[in-house]
Structures are given as structure tokens and as C-alpha cells.
Amino acid sequence: MSDFLTQSPETGDAVLRPTIAVAVIMRRERIDNRWQPWRWSLADVVPNEASFGHQPRLLLKDDREERWLHPGFSVELFLGDAEGYYLNVTTEQPCFWVVWRMEEEAAIAAEPIAVPHVVTLSYHDAGRWLDAQETVEQVPAPPDVVQWVQNFVKQHHVLEAKRRQRPQSFKSLQDRFGNPARVSTDKTLGGSGRG
């Protein structure tokens, strides 16, 4: 975990952004389905190491599963998304979210594999990708990463004060078309006026 020097898009100034380097492990497992015998899923997010290199590589392959290591992802914490990190670290199990897609054509192995594209700790980012119909999976974040995010949240997140909601009885009445409605307290006796 370190700070990464980057340029602010708003001001052009250099800013330090907290960053961790991670690698993603994707798993291909055999399932009991004659139309689709294999299923891809996120296996883990681990600290990146220089020995991983820069290219995806096969870690394990047998008749039941494959595991692929995808190194070189940076997880940055942005000041503007402090609430997204707050929502993550205040859950029962804070996590990493990973957006991954299947290759359209085999470029890494003999046949297409699942390739991670983004790793985040932001609840908001994960929600946006899910809304965009992306494949997003999560794995628990380790305690040191959770502590790192909690420290960032303590330093940068400001809880919005809850606004007092005006009682419903003070709201003006509207008809089904949104026009002001009138309520009369004059009693009219029922009946159709027939004698």
C-alpha cells in the first residue's frame, strides 16, 4: 500500500492517491452440464509481486479445474468516492469487486478465457458496473486492506446530516394530475336528490 502520484483532472495539479497493487486469480471449474461443461469465476485477489511478471499465466490445470493469475492491477482510492469505500467497510464482509469478461477470441490460451478488467473497493463502482450488465464478482478483502480503507474513510468521508423530513400532514394535497386539490369541510347530505 502506497501513495501514487497522479495528475488531478480538475486542476492539473499533482496529487498523491493511495494505491495498492494486486493480482487477480480466475478459476475455471468443471460443472455437471452437458451444454456448458465449464464455468468461470473469480477465485481471489492477492497482493501483486514482481515475480508475477506482467502477463497472465496458468497456475494450475487438471481435469477438474484451471487457475489463471492476472497480475498488475492498481486499486486506487479517490477522494470523490469516499462514500463508496465507507459503504464497503461498514458491511459485514468488506470486499474487492472485480469486473471480468470472456475473451471473444483466444489471445492468451488455446481457447478463450475469462479476463479481469477492473478491481475496486468502491461499492458505487460495483453498482454502476452491475447496472451496465457487466460480470462483477467479489471476494473478501484481507484485514490489512480493510484497515487501510477504514483509515482513508476516517480521514476523508463526511456523513451527510440527515435532513428533518417535513411531516406528511403539512404537504399540500394534489390530485392525480399534480394539480392542487381542495378539501371542503362542508357537509352535504348524501343521496341523489330523488324523492
Task: Write out the three cell numbers for 76.
Answer: 486506487
The answer as to whether 37 is a domain residue is yes
The answer as to whether 174 is a domain residue is no
Full domain range(s) for residue 123: 2-156
- Coil, helix or strand for 170? helix
CB 51 within 8 A of CB 84: no
Q: pLDDT category, 102, cuts 50, 70, 90?
A: very high
Q: Are strands 2-7 and 57-61 parallel, antiparallel or unpaired?
A: unpaired
How much of the chain exceeds pLDDT 90, in percent?
Answer: 66
Burial (CB count <10 Å: 0-12, 13-18, 19+), residue 65: middle
The answer as to whether 110 is a domain residue is yes
pTM confidence score: 0.74
The answer as to whether 180 is a domain residue is no
The answer as to whether 163 is a domain residue is no
Q: How many domains does the chain have?
A: 1
pLDDT in tens, 166-184: 555 555 556 666 666 665 5
pLDDT in tens, 131-146: 999 999 999 999 999 9
The answer as to whether 8 is a domain residue is yes
Q: Which residue has the higher pLDDT, 160 or 39?
A: 39
The answer as to whether 168 is a domain residue is no
Is 70 exceeded by the pLDDT of residue 88? yes
What are 28's strand-pairing partners?
Answer: 40, 66
The answer as to whether 187 is a domain residue is no
- Coil, helix or strand for 118? strand
CB 74 within 8 A of CB 45: no
